[in-house]
């Protein structure tokens, strides 16, 4: 269950580092294509690909399973149908930054495929960070492989990141458990903050406007996110009331999930 699709490399073996890097790029592209296809099937029908190949012969010549071809179509054709699901998922104000990051992945792929990168742990770490910056925006499964491999090759990073975090005055600890999906179905009707958030399948909670992750600001918050996943296993969008009530969108309503204090949430969001 939830097995990783690619193994961590032996850090002293350059050939393994290269295979891992290329494998991560391929996984990222495969997950991205699945995301696009799933959403286009829902909006355009199951025959969307063949229909568009008939309409546009040039598009029909593209092998979307080729990571390079897929990324080039997305980054260089602003009118591509492949962009539609992404443009609906990402905030409009952040689309340019998103496609710039996608271009970074394409550039990294070129370097790794054509042996233009120094094969080292640092190079693999850089590649993982580039992939993660965009993968978690779309909640792509490759995040799991990125996190695990990064943890294996740079186990000291977690300690360094914790040491470098600013001190934040937490108002009490996070709840040790949240209501189960069967025991809590209270619809939240209080006023929501203007902010909107995403609960990722890794337990990360992201501010959709700034892309900031709560775990980067407050230690321990990712474990809280994992507890929220027990109630909402698919993750997705979250809203928070002015009183700190967290709600997830379920069955066409915003349903109560947990409550946080100002010191447990994004700084400045709760007064």
Residue closest to 14 by CA, chosen among 119, 101, 139: 119
Residue 156's pLDDT is what? 60
pLDDT bracket for residue 174 (50, 70, 90) = low
Average pLDDT over residues 33-53: 92
> Domain locations in the chain?
14-160, 168-271
DSSP β-bridge partners for residue 250: 253
Q: How many CB atoms lie within 10 A of CB 113?
A: 15
pTM: 0.64
CA distance 190 to 126: 43
Burial (Cβ within 10 Å: 0-12, 13-18, ≥19) of residue 173: exposed
Residue 33's pLDDT is what? 96
- Concatenating the DSSP letter of every residue in 65-131 gives TSHHHHHHHHHH-TT-TTHHHHHHHS-GGGHHHHHHHHHHHHHHHHHHHTT-S--SHHHHHHHHHHH
Above pLDDT 90, what percent of the chain? 45
Contact 136, 143 (CB under 8 A): yes
Over the chain, what is the mean pLDDT? 84
* Per-residue pLDDT at 74 exceeds 90: yes
Residue 139's pLDDT is what? 81
* Per-residue pLDDT at 166 exceeds 70: no
CA distance 81 to 248: 30
* Per-residue pLDDT at 180 exceeds 70: no
Most confidently modeled range among 9-13, 95-99, 137-141, 176-180: 9-13
Residue closest to 138 by CA, chosen among 96, 79, 91: 91
**pLDDT tens-digit readout, 231-241:** 888 788 899 99
Residues present in the chain in total:
271
């Amino acid at each position: 269950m939830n097995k990783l699709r690619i193994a961590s490399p032996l850090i002293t073996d350059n050939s393994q580092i290269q295979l891992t890097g290329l494998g991560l790029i391929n996984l990222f592209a495969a997950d991205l294509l699945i995301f696009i296809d799933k959403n286009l099937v829902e909006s355009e029908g199951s025959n969307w690909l063949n229909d568009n190949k008939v309409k546009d012969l040039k598009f029909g010549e593209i092998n979307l399973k080729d990571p390079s071809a897929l990324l080039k179509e997305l980054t260089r054709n602003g009118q591509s149908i492949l962009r539609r699901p992404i443009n609906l998922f990402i905030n409009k104000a952040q689309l340019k930054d998103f496609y710039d990051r996608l271009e970074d992945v394409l550039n990294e792929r070129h370097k790794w495929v054509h042996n233009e990168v120094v094969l080292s742990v640092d190079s693999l770490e850089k590649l993982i960070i580039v992939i993660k910056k965009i993968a978690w925006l779309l909640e792509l499964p490759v995040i799991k492989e990125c996190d695990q491999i990064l943890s294996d090759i740079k186990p000291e990073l977690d300690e360094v990141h914790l040491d470098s975090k600013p001190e934040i005055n937490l108002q009490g600890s996070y709840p040790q458990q949240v209501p189960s999906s069967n025991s809590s179905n209270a619809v939240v009707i209080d006023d929501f903050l203007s902010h909107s958030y995403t609960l990722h399948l890794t337990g990360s909670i992201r501010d959709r406007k700034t892309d900031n992750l709560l775990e980067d600001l407050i230690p321990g918050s990712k474990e809280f996110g994992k507890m929220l996943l027990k109630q909402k296993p698919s993750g997705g969008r979250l809203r928070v009331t002015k009183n700190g009530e967290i709600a997830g969108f379920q069955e066409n309503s915003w349903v109560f999930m947990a409550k946080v204090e100002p010191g447990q949430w994004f700084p400045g969001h709760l007064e």
